[in-house]
Amino acid sequence: MPYTDPIHETHVSEPGLLVVDVAAADDATALAFQQLLADRWATATAEQTTRDAGQPGVRLRCYLDLRQELTAAAVVGPTMEPTMARS
């Protein structure tokens, strides 16, 4: 597996800290997902995606801090509801 950069202890040293690895079909999708996370939680975002030779799509890694309290805007903001395929 080419994308196996080590996770440093400081990134997960306390409950509520997360490392999120994202794989997506294209830059726009990966960066849009990252922005959804950043709109809700404190997030150290990636500026660009990476491509692994011989692997499909793009990847990025961001770091989240869930320990902060959600703001009123985040609580009442848009949600991502699951959709079901119709036959």
Instruction: Judge whether residue 6 has pLDDT over 50.
Output: yes
- pLDDT score of 68: 80
Q: Which two tokens stand for residue 36?
A: 């959804």
More confident of the two residues 70 and 33: 33
- pLDDT score of 1: 43
pLDDT digits (tens, 9 = 90+) for 20-36: 999 999 999 999 999 99
57 close to 25: Cβ distance less than 8 angstroms? yes
Taking CB atoms within 8 Å and a gap of at least 24, the contacts of 49-52 are: 49/24, 50/3, 52/2, 52/3
SS3 label, residue 82: coil
Other CB atoms within a 10 A radius of the CB of residue 62 amount to 19
More confident of the two residues 87 and 39: 39
Burial classification of residue 87, based on how many CB atoms lie within 10 Å of its CB (0-12 exposed, 13-18 middle, 19 or more buried): exposed
HSE-up of 55 (CA within 13 Å, CB side)?
13
pLDDT digits (tens, 9 = 90+) for 73-87: 555 444 444 444 444
Query: At 4, is the pLDDT very low, low, confident or very high (cuts 50, 70, 90)?
Result: low
